[in-house]
Homo-oligomer: A and B are copies of this chain.
Amino acid sequence: MADTLTPTALTLKDIAREAGVSLATVDRVLHNRPGVRPDTVRRVKEAIARNSFQPHVAAAELARGRARRFAFVMPSGPNPFMQQIEAYLGEMAAWLSARRLKVEMVATDVFEPAALAASLEALSGDYDGVAVVALDHPSVRAAINDLVDAGTKVVTLVSDVPSSRRHHYVGIDNIAAGRTAGALIGRLVGQRSGKVAIVAGSQGLRDHAERIFGFNQVMATEFPNLSVLPVLEGRDEDERSEQMLARLFGGHADIVGLYNVGAGTQGVAKALNDKALSETGRDKVVFVGHDVTALTRRLLLQGLMDAAISQNPGHEARAAVRVLLALARGEPILSEQEKIRIDIVMRDNLP
């Protein structure tokens, strides 16, 4: 019982013969290039459809000659998650080079819309595709639209600018991520009641704001035993986060859960650990954060952290490249494959 999923392959020439035109004309129709009479277009398109013809990617790739260039615009600074994405891109070197693809990194300041926009504008014309960790700001939106208008394929990475005309977003649904964090804390706290603390980088960052929104949604509707404290804004900095949190712990004896929305994990963990040491015997605070890094991995193994909501950085790096390549080639995108899932990582399923 062998059922073939793929029919036998035809070539451009077969289609040309069937439509009664030349190779070049089929090629023009295939790529929506101008200079073909509407009636001819129709005939060719019919022949293509009738045979469900698929051009051979390898032949197309070989024939075009020049390599494709992609730029990755990433935040400068020591964000471990972003460094992981860059590292995974580096691991693809052989894969990229066997396909004659060139990927270049461009570092820029994420918290400065003007700087980001300028970096993007500077890329215009030089690249076939651009992946950008974007800030949702009017000037960034404009820069993205300009690139798109110039024919560059653009994907937003990790953080989206939905109002722009970017071709694709590679990243997670942050509202769902926040809901997931909320549900985990709620469930892991169990019967107890008390307060839940939130530490974020800034509520001005779109992804952070969305996560908090999702988190509160779940808390309000499903865990009446828990009350959420006002969000602390630690700017993703260790010391600031630690101090704010230590003060909060001082003021509230009944904190049973802690959600760390962004980075600054070192400081958050420190504050939590100090609290645990000073009050032996108390119930542990349930601690959920984001992303699997060297640090969060250690905290999970130690048991100080209970779960990390994670978006696989390797998958994001590869998906961004594949999507840019598919867009550049005019191929359809395997949306199921390129969708980034929200991973729940606990000690026993650490990747």
Contact = CB atoms under 8 A, between A and B. Distances in A.
Interface residues of A, number: 72
B312 A99 contact: no
Nearest to A344: B344
B348 A176 contact: yes
B98 A331 contact: yes
A346 interface: yes
B55 A58 contact: no
Interface centre among A89, A312, A332, A337 (most CB of B within 10 A): A337
A22 interface: no
A141 B314 CA distance: 33
A25 B153 CA distance: 40
A337 B349 contact: no
Interface string A1-34: 1111111010000000000000000000000000
Interface string A75-115: 00000000000001111111111111111111100000000
Given A58-B58, A92-B334, A188 B191 contact: no
A6 B346 contact: no
A232 interface: no
Contact of A58 (B61, B182, B190, B349): B61
Interface string A307-351: 000001011001000000000000110101101011111111101
A57 interface: yes
Contact of A57 (B56, B98, B341): B98
B2 A106 contact: yes
A103 B54 contact: no
Given A61-B58, A176-B349, A343-B343, A6 B331 contact: no
A128 to B, nearest CB: 14
B62 A59 contact: yes
A37 to B, nearest CB: 28
A231 interface: no
Interface in A170-194: 176-177, 179-180, 182-184, 187-188, 190-191
Contacts of A71: 2
Interface of A: 1-7, 9, 54-59, 61-62, 67, 71, 88-107, 176-177, 179-180, 182-184, 187-188, 190-191, 214, 218, 306, 312, 314-315, 318, 331-332, 334, 336-337, 339, 341-349, 351
